[in-house]
Amino acid sequence: MFALSSSLNYQLYLPGTDMRKSFDGLCGLALGELGHSPLDGSVYIFINKARNKVKLLHWQSGGFVLYYKRLEGGTFELPKYDASVGVLQLDYTQLVMLIDGVAITNIARRKRYEKAC
């Protein structure tokens, strides 16, 4: 079963990505540019320079899953970031908002109860 959930880590690769890259090319970016193993269970998010296409790469039990979305109109809005940083960590809510076209730059997160482990 293909599934994304709030229990996963989401890494947004910030430079514009060539969307001709598939599994191996995106794994190469995660490993070579970010220094992260694409087998670590994180979901790696890649957006093209025009910001109208996004790919999510995720390792799941024995193989990679690649999610791909192309917008027919509009663009994905990236959060503000320091240009020297190559990756931003997002949570599941931010990912969903990014994919759905909601601006995540000015969102203020309200305090919530968190159970201590």
DSSP string covering 84-107: T--EEEE-HHHHHHHHHT---SSP
- SS3 breakdown of the chain: % helix, strand, coil, rounded to 5? 15, 25, 60
Tell me, what's the pLDDT at 75?
Answer: 92
Coil, strand or helix: which one is 70? strand
Could you give the strand order of the β-sheet that contains 63-70, starting from the edge strand earlier in sequence? 63-70, 53-60, 43-47, 10-13, 87-90
For the chain, percent of residues with pLDDT exceeding 70: 92
**What average pLDDT does the segment 66-94 reach?**
87
**What average pLDDT does the segment 108-114 reach?**
70
CB atoms closer than 10 angstroms to residue 74? 9
Tell me, what's the pLDDT at 106?
Answer: 62
Average pLDDT along the chain: 88
